[in-house]
A and B are shown apart, each in its own frame.
Chain A
Amino acid sequence: MTHAITLPMTKEAAATLRAGDAVSLSGVIYTARDAAHIRLCELLDAGKPLPIDINGAAIYYAGPTPPPPGFAAGSIGPTTSSRMDFAAPRLIRLGLMCMIGKGARSAEVTEAIRECGAVYLAATGGAGALLAARVVSAETVAFPELGAEAIRRLVVRDFPATVATDSLGGDIYAQGRENYLRERRK
Chain B
Amino acid sequence: MRIIPTDAITDAVARLFRDANIRLPSDIRAAVDAAIESEPWDDARRTLKTIRENADIAESRGVPICQDTGMACVFIDIGIDAHIDGDVYAAVNDGVARGCAEGYLRASIVRDPLRRENTGDNTPAAVYIDLVPGDKIKITVAPKGFGSENMSRVKMLRPADGVAGLVDFVVSTVESAGGSACPPVVVGVGVGGSFDKAALLAKRALLRGLDEPNPDPYYARLERELLEKINALGIGPMGFGGATTALGVSILSMPTHIAGLPAAVNISCHVTRHLSEVL
Seen from chain A, the residues whose Cβ lies within 8 Å of a Cβ on chain B are 20, 35, 62-68, 71, 74-77, 79-82, 102-104, 122, 124-130, 132-133, 146-149, 160, 162, 172-173, 175-181, 183-184
12 contacts between A and B (CB under 8 A): A64-B106, A65-B106, A75-B65, A77-B67, A128-B67, A129-B63, A148-B106, A148-B118, A162-B240, A176-B241, A177-B233, A184-B40
Residue numbers in B under 8 Å from A64 (CB-CB): 67, 106
The distance in angstroms between the C-alpha atoms of A82 and B67, with both chains bound, is: 18
Q: Are A128 and B64 within 8 A (Cβ)?
A: yes
Residue numbers in B under 8 Å from A173 (CB-CB): 178-179, 239-240
B227 within 8 A of partner (CB): no
Q: Are A184 and B54 within 8 A (Cβ)?
A: no
Q: How far is the CB of B55 from chain A (nearest CB, A)?
A: 8
Q: Are A177 and B147 within 8 A (Cβ)?
A: no
The distance in angstroms between the C-alpha atoms of A128 and B41, with both chains bound, is: 24
A contact patch SS: mixed
B contact patch SS: loop
Q: Are B65 and A128 within 8 A (Cβ)?
A: yes
Q: Are A102 and B182 within 8 A (Cβ)?
A: yes
Q: Are B50 and A124 within 8 A (Cβ)?
A: yes
Residue numbers in A under 8 Å from B178 (CB-CB): 103-104, 173
Q: Are A68 and B104 within 8 A (Cβ)?
A: yes
- Restricting to B220-279, which residues have a CB under 8 Å from any CB of A? 233-236, 238-243, 269-271
Number of interface residues, chain B, beta carbon within 8 A:
50
* New A-B pairs, 9, CB < 8 Å, besides A122-B238, A130-B54, A162-B238: A35-B116, A62-B67, A77-B67, A102-B179, A125-B269, A129-B61, A176-B242, A181-B234, A184-B40
* Given A65-B64, A75-B63: A127 in contact with B50 (beta carbons within 8 A): yes
B66 within 8 A of partner (CB): yes
Q: How far is the CB of A163 from chain B (nearest CB, A)?
A: 11
Closest residue of chain A to B47 (Cβ to Cβ) is A124
Q: How far is the CB of B247 from chain A (nearest CB, A)?
A: 12
Residue of B120, B182, B234, B269 near A184 (CB, 8 A) is B234
Residue numbers in A under 8 Å from B61 (CB-CB): 129
Q: Are B147 and A79 within 8 A (Cβ)?
A: yes
Residue numbers in B under 8 Å from A122 (CB-CB): 179, 238, 240
B105 within 8 A of partner (CB): yes
Q: Are A126 and B270 within 8 A (Cβ)?
A: yes
Q: Are B67 and A75 within 8 A (Cβ)?
A: yes
- Restricting to B73-123, which residues have a CB under 8 Å from any CB of A? 104-108, 116, 118, 120
Residue of A75, A127, A147 near B51 (CB, 8 A) is A127
B150 within 8 A of partner (CB): yes
